[in-house]
Amino acid sequence: MSRQSVALPSVGSIEEELRRVRYQKNFGQELRNTIFLLVVVAAAAVLVAVLLLPILRIYGSSMNDTLQEGDIVVSVKGGRFQTGDIIAFYYNNKILVKRVIGVSGDWIDIDENGEVYVNQRRIDEPYLMDKALGDCNIELPYQVPESRIFVMGDNRSVSVDSRNTAVGCVAEEQIVGKIVYRVWPLEQFGVIGEGLDVGQTFFSFGISES
């Protein structure tokens, strides 16, 4: 029987194979690290969105002309609310968006022309297109109960809000957060109207379902 010689691999080819194996190992490790990092970032983003900065889509017309159906807004949890702030809150398994008119202890009055008074002072509401008494079945003037917030939609003639006992005042535990930014549509990206400075905006003596 004849013996056939077996060609041994060269040193160069062995080194090349070692480099290839190391590259595959390092690539796999880097890929796993990248995927893990993306998962962590995504989870953190979800937690921030849910716990601190809920992102909401507007439905309905009760906040026209300030907010339109289809707008996407960012809310901030916590803090104190004042007249003029826009808040989101839970109501019957839905989230409504309305404007804060008064807080616990305030007296609210609305005349037949839709002018709104807080503690006998008429408030300036430049964000309104039209004023209306709207769907109101509460007895006016009305005092906001303890730990409650009186809210109204900006589209006063169609909004069902604290003027009607069907919705009533908002309890603190219902509140999702204060609406602060609009992120969609892009051409309207930016801060949404700040709360009113009561001392500067009161006259006389001295916030549908979306």
Catalytic residues: 62, 98
Burial (CB count <10 Å: 0-12, 13-18, 19+), residue 86: buried
55 touches 72 (CB < 8 A): yes
Report how far residue 158's alpha carbon sits from residue 155's, in angstroms, rounded to the nearest whole number. Answer: 6
Strand partners, 184: 72
Rounded to whole angstroms, the Cα distance separating 109 from 56 reads 30
Please check whether residue 209 is in contact with residue 160, taking contact to mean a CB–CB distance below 8 angstroms. yes
How far apart, in whole angstroms, are the C-alpha atoms of residue 132 and residue 113? Answer: 6
Identity of the residue numbered 17: E
Look up residue 128 and give its two tokens.
Answer: 């309104």
Give the 3-state secondary structure of residue 127: coil
Which phi and psi angles does 5 have, rounded to 5°?
Answer: -75, 140
How many CA atoms within 13 Å lie on the side-chain side of 164?
16
